[in-house]
Amino acid sequence: MGAMIKRLGLLLLLVLPLACAQTGTPTVVLLLKTATPTASPTIQPSPTASATSPAPSPLLVQTHVVQPGETLGGIASQYGLPLETLIIANDIPDPSLIQVGQELVIPSLDANAALTPTSLALTRETAQVTQVIDGDTIEVELEGQRYRVRYIGMDTPEVDEAFYAEATEANRRLVAGQAVEMEKDVSETDRFGRLLRYVYVGDVMVNEELIRLGVAQVATFPPDVKYADRFLVVQQEAQAEGVGLWGVQGVR
């Protein structure tokens, strides 16, 4: 290829002067240079964002003095923390034993830190409901195993009590055959070996919805009290409206 280019260059040098002489056009000499291969430039990778980005802001710590009427679950909700986080931060063996005037350590993220929905939320398990036992108990299939699940924070009538059938039917309408998400509080199981969970169908927390429908009452068993205050508010609304069992004379 290089030799051919050289020959073309010589031919042009011979032909152009003759052609220009006949036409009176000034002679233009083209100098052709044999191209020499060059090495491809080395492309250095651009520095990644992670290499220059500042590290996440450290956790800041504040304190909270327990006021009359406050619960640990309510305090955790006030600061947007899982109850378990508050318990661990303060090494509390029994959340029901907090005292008025007690100072609690409240871990909180700096405003500049990356805050994602999962950074504060407890991990949820996805399960398939296989059977509705009664108003507050179901059976699910989880990772190939069958488990009984007891709803946390509420209680429904037993088989020989008023509103047992209504509570069971309300639970069935909400969860029968559904894929549900289950959220743990502090305890894994109760004394009967049933998983203790808050159960969700979509955005609806079944525990809370049964209280709202008036077929369940708030029942708090420490240390699983994450939503205790929230449930009490819902129950007060059901009582005020006389919904479900709250409309039955003598039940208050």
What is the model's pLDDT at position 7? Answer: 54
What is the model's pLDDT at position 53? Answer: 40
Residues 175 and 72 in one domain: no
The reply to whether 208 belongs to the active site is no
Residues 236 and 152 in one domain: yes
In the set 103, 158, 161, 188, the catalytic residue is 158
Token couple for 250 = 């003598």
> Do residues 234 and 211 touch, judged by C-beta distance below 8 A?
yes
Q: How far apart are CA 143 and CA 184, in angstroms?
A: 16
What is the model's pLDDT at position 81? Answer: 80
Residues 126 and 86 in one domain: no
Residue 207 lies inside a defined structural domain of this protein: yes
Residues 95 and 182 in one domain: no
Q: How far apart are CA 234 and CA 217, in angstroms?
A: 10
Domain span at 80: 59-110
Residues 143 and 242 in one domain: yes
Looking at residue 150, which CATH number applies to its domain? 2.40.50.90
* Rounded average pLDDT per 10-residue block, the chain, 252 residues: 52 49 48 43 41 42 85 82 78 76 77 39 83 98 96 96 96 98 94 96 96 97 93 96 83 54
Residue 47 lies inside a defined structural domain of this protein: no
Residues 127 and 229 in one domain: yes
Identify the DSSP state of 5.
H
User: Going by C-beta distance under 8 Å and a sequence separation of 6 or more, which residues neighbour residue 24?
Assistant: none
Residue 46 lies inside a defined structural domain of this protein: no
Residue 94 lies inside a defined structural domain of this protein: yes
User: Which H helix or E strand runs over 23?
Assistant: helix 2-23
In the set 150, 197, 212, 230, the catalytic residue is 150
What is the model's pLDDT at position 251? Answer: 55
Q: How far apart are CA 140 and CA 142, in angstroms?
A: 6
Residue 35 lies inside a defined structural domain of this protein: no
| Nearest in space to 185 (alpha carbons), one of 150, 211, 210, 158 | 150
What is the model's pLDDT at position 9? Answer: 52
Confidence (pTM): 0.55
Residues 66 and 19 in one domain: no
Residue 76 lies inside a defined structural domain of this protein: yes
Residue 48 lies inside a defined structural domain of this protein: no
In the set 124, 148, 172, 194, the catalytic residue is 194
The reply to whether 158 belongs to the active site is yes
Number of structural domains the chain divides into: 3
Burial degree of 149 (CB within 10 A; 0-12, 13-18, 19+): buried
Residue 115 lies inside a defined structural domain of this protein: no
What is the model's pLDDT at position 29? Answer: 43
The reply to whether 148 belongs to the active site is no
| Nearest in space to 112 (alpha carbons), one of 167, 168, 53 | 53
What is the model's pLDDT at position 3? Answer: 52
> Do residues 62 and 89 touch, judged by C-beta distance below 8 A?
no
Residues 243 and 125 in one domain: yes
